[in-house]
Chain A
């Protein structure tokens, strides 16, 4: 299997504060890769580095074989232009904890927007595709609703459809269900499960250990900006090897 994401000694600091202290990991193509860890451990930051919403300070990060944010010539690194970064981001879908749907557009317009604006897809074609995707996440009948007229779970499913509309190779999920009422979590997880079955490569930051165990192919436990433990989710969750993993799991399970 080839690596969709490859991280070699990735460091990230905000000012004086070092948030990522050398992350080494590999996400294989087609797998569901779960990232767990206590608050402030740097999970979101790492996810945002993958699509270059944050610049890394040291190390190398590759997506689909390409260096993120830079071009290497000899032993020199050249920063990519904004337009080149944007080009790379098309292939990486991202789903946020707080949905971040565009509030001035209806559900279907949210899904159509990027294909039209970024890929130059024709409006009619984009609409057909958007409707298809909304059906897929079970919201065909909500296409004309504005985000404020949808429940949190419905908004998150529209957000997933919006990311899928760009036909990404990789999907990043940053705690997609943490802002949801418990009874709405299931619908979103079902959509993610379907997506995993269709073979999408997914990196999922989550506190849903049930989902990680059931759907995840690999799992990494992060704490304090480093990877503490990694492996098969069922093994790590049932029989953690490290003290820090044990104490974290005892709190969340």
Chain B
């Protein structure tokens, strides 16, 4: 290998007239066959990690766990319904959060001091208090306002309005809006001012500029953290247990406490949460890919393209070695 490298400079024709001819006619360079560096550190740390994993596996297999209960209960109708409700409340709360969040972000960036201050106060309150406390506030609202009275439009007992579902939706959604507002604001600010100027120089209105030019570009910055927010939401939704909404954790725990299979049912819940967050992660990847269009010269590969490329890569590497 080395002498090939040493020789090559004298082999190449002098730079200038016949470079391409020389390259075409000369023998193809020999593929490098070198002995790779040995990474002893990697081997040692690998062995240690595997050993720890095995120990953990042994501990769980010897623990007092009835694995068949886990598999039996995984698809029980009340558990599946609970998972469905978790998904439903997460999606609805996220929609409330995104819509209200964009509105709050635009309000905060507006030149009107009243709207920007109101938005600031909203964000200050809902980010500054724990979501758990906010859920309990909605849940107990009837204690201070027994009747919801919107004048001639609507009047009802607060307990009838504030169903567990409504408490969960308002608690999670309004809290999320405060976080989404900050994410959206960062996204809107990340769009180059020249874009707004170019749109306005073409005679586009403020609204058209916002919806056609600024927001689509802000999405590239907004989507990745929003995906994380949604994954967080799927998990945070377990807190609505407290307002007696029958989501995944509540329905599994109900079985757990009557059948004394507490840990088993928590495993069931964990499996469902993991499944939902994993499926969503794949979905998020495609969403990000869509909003990345135009921002780089070529789009990142899809998952399938990646797997295919990896397989081909592995094959050719083996072929070489």
Which of B200, B205, B206, B294 is within 8 Å of A147, CB to CB? B294
Residue of A at shortest CB range from B293? A104
B-contacting 9-mer, from A29-37, A56-64, A69-77, A113-121: A113-121
B-contacting 9-mer, from A11-19, A90-98, A189-197, A200-208: A90-98
> CA–CA, A86 to B204, complex, Å?
6
In the complex the two chains form, is A53's CB within 8 Å of B201's CB? yes
At the interface, is chain B mostly helix, strand, loop or mixed? helix
> CA–CA, A170 to B32, complex, Å?
63
How many of B's residues come within 8 Å of A, CB to CB? 24
In the complex the two chains form, is A90's CB within 8 Å of B295's CB? no
CB distance from B216 to the nearest CB of A (A): 5
CB distance from A17 to the nearest CB of B (A): 19
Which of A82, A87, A103, A106 is within 8 Å of B295, CB to CB? A103
In the complex the two chains form, is A82's CB within 8 Å of B202's CB? no
In the complex the two chains form, is B195's CB within 8 Å of A83's CB? no
In the complex the two chains form, is A166's CB within 8 Å of B202's CB? yes
Residue of B at shortest CB range from A90? B203
How many of A's residues come within 8 Å of B, CB to CB? 32
Q: Does B194 contact A (CB under 8 A)?
A: yes
> CA–CA, A89 to B198, complex, Å?
11
Q: Does B160 contact A (CB under 8 A)?
A: no
> CA–CA, A102 to B191, complex, Å?
11
Contacts A94-B201, A114-B203: A146 and B194 contacting too (C-beta < 8 A)? no
Of B197, B198, B202, B217, most A-chain CB atoms within 10 Å:
B202
Q: Does B306 contact A (CB under 8 A)?
A: no
Contacts A103-B217, A148-B295: A114 and B204 contacting too (C-beta < 8 A)? yes
Contact residues of B between 171 and 207, Cβ < 8 Å to A: 192, 194-195, 197-206
Q: Does A100 contact B (CB under 8 A)?
A: yes
CB distance from A161 to the nearest CB of B (A): 12
Q: Chain A, 140-180, contact with B by CB distance < 8 Å: what is the 0/1 string? A: 00000011110000000000001100100000000000000
Q: Does A3 contact B (CB under 8 A)?
A: no
CB-based closest 5 A-B pairs: A90-B203, A100-B198, A114-B202, A146-B294, A94-B201
Binding site for A on B (CB under 8 A): 192, 194-195, 197-206, 208, 212-213, 216-217, 220, 293-297
